[in-house]
Structure 1
Amino acid sequence: MSENVGEHVPFECPSCSPDLETVHEVLTTGGGNATVKCTDCGHVHKEAIESESSVSVDVVVSQDGESFTGTAEFDPEETIYEGDEFVVETDELIAQVRVTSIEAGPEDRTTRAEATEVDTLWTREVGNVSVGVTVNPKEGSDEGSRSLEVHVPGDYEFEVGETEEFGEEAFTVTGIHVRENAIDSYKFPKLGDEGDVVFAKDVKRVYGDDESSGAWSAW
């Protein structure tokens, strides 16, 4: 079991009850021991305590507009940060997720918290993701830009200047907008220099020039 300061827990008291447990107040903890005081006679002594091996935290997973709930186990001394990634299991799926928000109380959202202080982790599935793409028409076309959605692994790389093909769709990447919670990993929130690369899980939107050979479909 694990004790916290101020809790009342059962221990044998070497002064007044060496064979039967009595109620003790936890005064201090540390180093695998607790200093406790017998509430019957006031005797203060140390007792060995066991630390919790893990704590269970509620997790909400967002995937393609749907939400699923599950739990994840963390070390009690671990600090969880916005942007952290881990695997979570729900009734619907097992997913690689990224923390997008940490709820440490009903009205308390933060970017970091000790695992023991977390009420709920809000996350987004990043193992497999949907990426929105705006495709600009070919030169001389009287069509307007169109939007499409592609489904790729989270670690798929979009590179400015490279041509992507998805079925009948093909486009050359001209720009990439990075998600807000991933901006620190890139030089700018909007990338447009040839050779700039962004992982699909970090993409807010891709922009490209049409390279498709067939007629456009309506979106």
Structure 2
Amino acid sequence: MSENVGESTPLECPSCSPDLETVHEVLTTGGGQATVQCTDCGHVHKEALDDEAGVAVDVVVSQDDESFTGTVEFDPGETVYEGDEFVVETEETIAVARVTSIETGPEERTTRADAEDVETVWTRAVGNVSVDVTVHPQDGAREDSRGLTVHVPGDYEFTVGASESFGDEEFEVTGVHVRENAVDDYKFPKLGEDGDTVFAKDVKRVYGEDESSTAWSAW
């Protein structure tokens, strides 16, 4: 820990929560240790201070058509990679974000860098995501296909061959197009075999066949 006196920090409490972190207030610091008090039970104990301060890096979080800016602290010597996921707290929101690009200088982007060399980390919110879906009618008339957007947790799974229901929309998943920066985690960029599964946060587009109980209408 590296917080200052009066600040709050998450720590395990040896009195009431030895296995889970609770909020503690920093009472004093000195001699490489901090005296902290658990805000749940009031227990006071000592914790070692970090020898090195963390590296604060600006983070831009994109969520649908909006962007938010926050700061994330990395450990000294830590390497930041494209694809890393972490929690970012901004004035507008707290989001689980995935690194999509790392900026180390003006117009200089890379897929990995030491935290000390990073100017800005560009990310996409993946805790809750919007997924575009194209639904084809059962008669195969592609000109009558319709598009919709569903909102699901990032870890929601779309499986080829499975039926999905969102409100009045019902369809069988026939294929999934994977996002470019997630292709390495799957067999192919486009999946269409029964049983192929993709996390919603990795989906570029889902394709399905209409299973709605109501008659198909292009209107």
CA deviation map 1:109-165 (0-9, x unaligned): 000000011000000000000000000012276961010000000000000000000
| Structure 1 CA distance for aligned equivalents of residues 195 and 120 of structure 2 | 38
Counting only pairs closer than 5 Å after superposition, residues 20-99 of structure 1 correspond to structure 2 as: 52-99=52-99
- Alignment match, 2:168: 168
Q: Does 1:107 align with 2:107?
A: yes
Unaligned runs of 5+ in 2: 1-49
Matched letter for residue 116 of structure 1: E
Per the alignment, residue 35 of structure 1 pairs with none
Output the amino acid matched with 1:214. Answer: T
What CA distance in whole angstroms lies between the structure 1 residues aligned with 2:120 and 2:140? 52
Give the aligned partner of residue 45 of structure 1: none
Residue by residue over 1:77-107, the C-alpha shift from the partner in whole angstroms, topping out at 9 and shown as x without a partner, is 1100000000000001000000000000011
Partner of 1:44: none
CA–CA distance in 2 between the matches of 1:57 and 1:217?
51
Q: Counterparts of 1:54 and 1:140 in 2: how far apart (Å)? A: 57
SS of the residue 1:214 aligns to = coil
Alignment of 1:159 with 2:155, yes or no, is no
> TM-score scaled by structure 1?
0.74
Distance 1:159 1:82 in 2: 26
CA drift of 1:52 comes to 2.8
Asked if structure 1 preserves the Cα contact closer than 8 Å seen for 2:144 and 2:218, the reply is no
Q: Secondary structure at the match of 2:161?
A: coil
Contact 1:137 1:143 in 2 (8 A): no
Query: Aligned partners of 1:208, 1:125: CA distance in 2, in Å?
Result: 25
Corresponding residue for residue 186 of structure 2: 186
- Which residue in 1 is equivalent to 2:208? 208
In the TM superposition, what is the alpha-carbon distance from 1:53 to its structure 2 partner? 2.6
Unaligned runs of 5+ in 1: 1-49
Between the aligned partners of 1:140 and 1:173, the Cα distance in structure 2 is 14
Q: Distance in 1 between matches of 2:158 and 2:62?
A: 22
Secondary structure of the equivalent of 2:131?
strand
Distance 1:71 1:158, change over 3 A: same
Check 1:142–1:123 CA distance in 2 against 1; reply closer, same or farther (3 A cut). Answer: closer
Q: CA deviation at 1:214?
A: 2.3
* Percent identical residues: 74
Larger Rg over CA atoms = 1
Aligned-partner Cα distance in 2 for 1:217–1:210: 11
| TM-score, normalising length: structure 2 | 0.74
